[in-house]
Amino acid sequence: MLPALSRAGTLCAVMGLVGMLPWISGRDPAASLLRARMGEQTPTPEALAAIRAQLGLADGPWVHLGQWLAGLVRGDWGVSWISGAPVLEGMLGALAVSWTLMAAAFGVALCCAGLIALPVLLRGLHGRPTQTAGVLAATLTALPEFMLSALFLVVFSVWLGWFPPYGWQGWSHVVLPALALGLPGGGLLGRLLGQALAASFHEAWIASWACAGISRARIARAVLRRSLPALMPQIGMIMVAMTGGAIAVEKVFSIPGLGRAVLGAASAQDLPALQAGLLLLLLNALAIGILANLIRVALLGRALTLGALPVTPPQSAPPDRRLWLVPLLVVLLLAGLVLWGLPRDPFSAQYLRLQAPGPALPLGADGLGRDVLARIAHGAFSTIGMAVLATGIALCLGLLMGMVPRLSIGLIEVTKATPPTMAALVTVAAMGPSAMGALVAVSTVAWAPLAAHTAALVAEARAKPHIAIAPVLGVGPLRLIQRSILPEVLAPVTRHAMLRLPGIALALAALGFLGLGARPPAPEWGLVLADMLPYVERAPLAVLMPVAALALLSVLGVSLAALLRR
């Protein structure tokens, strides 16, 4: 009952916030609608009053929200303030498009994750050390969807002509956006699956099964079943992100999906369309979250309730000191890039537009004649600094909320359904576009995957024999959490948070790319990409350098996570 109340309460709170967006923003919705309908004409007070009366805005946010909820009960989702057409039919059509794209992208992600985790599985079956290789996974995770979309558009549509560049008329239009959306998710899923497989191969039952002569194929199936339950919340999160979080991909390829439709409704202040789109996104996320949890419980079976899950022994062997060479090299490369460009001016337009690289201009100039190297170097402080701060906030919130999963399950699932772009729209409505607004927006949603991971690990920890019997022996709940449960979840969740550090940096860059974060002329990596993207054919090096810096940041996070193994 408590999880159901948590889901319902969170959903009502979010929809109430959405319903009050026009009033939170401080902008007059009637004026925005008149501009959308009549252009830039100066509205008269009489015209504004007539619009408010027609839309029911004069009664205030609470009355308007109550009328909308009453319409939902009757099956009336409202009509668009811009077109006057019912919003439900259009949003359902957009959701069907997003589901198709999600299915194709998730297939790409599964294939990619399988290829990344396969060496770990094979080494474990042959009794060799099961260290996970994170470079490929980190690189894929670090590739921003909007950058992949642009590159695929230029290479495979413009240069090679293999696929159509825009639209949604057939399966040929699905290939490029599915690859752009599925590869980063596959990198993340492959890394997490590799870690889970490596942990499962260290459990005692593996040796017992091998001595009993059980075939490797059966052991492989058992290891996969043992490893998948803790990953199900993350798989659900990836699927939700592919449904509603692909705004940049849908924007680049002009795909009429739900994320793009909601973004357009928010930009136009079309409140009925925005409410309907967000409600569909949230319901879709709740359904995926419930399904993922049911699959997790089914995979664990009776061991979850009987306290019979096998215990993973701690890794007593210290990590190889040579592993420090990778983060050290990455830090040196990033530091060298920053120190190389730090003395240069990132704001002065003193060069020719798109000037080619040369001795005096190592990475060339952007579309306004500014030094690209200087802008990337100065932008490292804001991008990396904000990403580290947002990751720390997300880790603390994720651990805190994940310890009380029954109470926070609704908030976790709804937050996972909210991509950073949607959170940024709400933040921008209240604070205006800014770097601080982007930090707040990303922090408010980045904790949810960590909380879901924490909740799954807490459930498995409570099912282990030595923890399940502790309350019978008189151990209090606070001491049990502090001494037994928290040590079980802290290291893997911290590694997960470090793995998400580049993704958080990419989210901040994506908000800058979409105009919802730092404002020009700030030398933020997302803005650098946005400024140079129209010129990717003429100045590819200037576009690829921010991506290369983010890839280095991702490799740094994964290599440091490997050093945190117990």
DSSP 139-175: HHHHS-HHHHHHHHIIIIIIIS--S-SS--SSGGGTH
Q: Which amino acid is at 5?
A: L
Tell me phi and psi for residue 232, to 5 degrees.
-60, -40
Q: Is 105 within 8 Å of 240 (Cβ atoms)?
A: no
| Tokens, residue 273 | 């369309």
Say what the pLDDT of residue 106 is. 92
Q: How far apart are CA 188 and CA 121, in angstroms?
A: 17
Per-residue pLDDT of the chain (566 residues; tens, 9 = 90+): 666 676 677 777 777 776 676 666 556 666 666 665 665 556 677 777 777 777 766 677 777 777 777 888 888 888 887 777 888 888 898 888 988 998 999 999 999 888 888 888 888 888 776 555 455 665 676 567 777 787 788 788 877 888 888 888 888 889 999 998 888 888 888 888 888 888 888 777 788 888 888 888 888 888 888 888 878 877 887 887 777 667 778 877 888 888 788 877 776 767 788 778 878 877 887 788 788 878 887 877 766 565 555 655 555 445 556 667 777 887 888 888 888 888 888 888 888 888 878 888 887 787 788 888 888 888 888 788 888 888 889 888 888 888 877 777 777 766 765 666 667 766 765 666 777 878 888 888 888 888 888 887 877 777 677 666 766 666 666 777 766 777 778 888 887 787 777 778 777 877 777 777 777 778 877 777 777 767 766 766 666 777 677 667 666 666 665 565 44
Say what the pLDDT of residue 501 is. 78
Distances from the Cα of 162 to the Cα of 152, 171, 254, 437, angstroms:
10, 13, 18, 40
Report CA torsion sign: 364, 541, 378, 347: positive
- Between vectors from CA 508 to CA 29 and to CA 495, what angle results, nearest 5°? 135
pTM: 0.70
Q: Helix, strand, or coil here: 212? A: coil
Q: Helix, strand, or coil here: 514? A: coil
DSSP 31-76: HHHHHHHH-SPPPPHHHHHHHHHHHTGGG-HHHHHHHHHHHHHTT-
Q: Which amino acid is at 77?
A: W
Q: How far apart are CA 215 and CA 472, in angstroms?
A: 39
Q: How many residues does the chain have?
A: 566
| Tokens, residue 370 | 């500014």
Say what the pLDDT of residue 279 is. 80
Say what the pLDDT of residue 428 is. 65
**Cα R_g (the chain), whole angstroms:** 25
Query: 501: Cβ–Cβ under 8 A, 6 or more apart, which residues?
Result: 387, 388, 391, 553, 554, 557
Q: How far apart are CA 134 and CA 137, in angstroms?
A: 5
Q: Which amino acid is at 27?
A: R
Q: Which amino acid is at 436?
A: M
Domains of the chain: residue spans and CATH? 1-76 (no CATH), 78-301 (1.10.3720.10), 322-566 (1.10.3720.10)
- Between vectors from CA 423 to CA 518 and to CA 19, what angle results, nearest 5°? 125
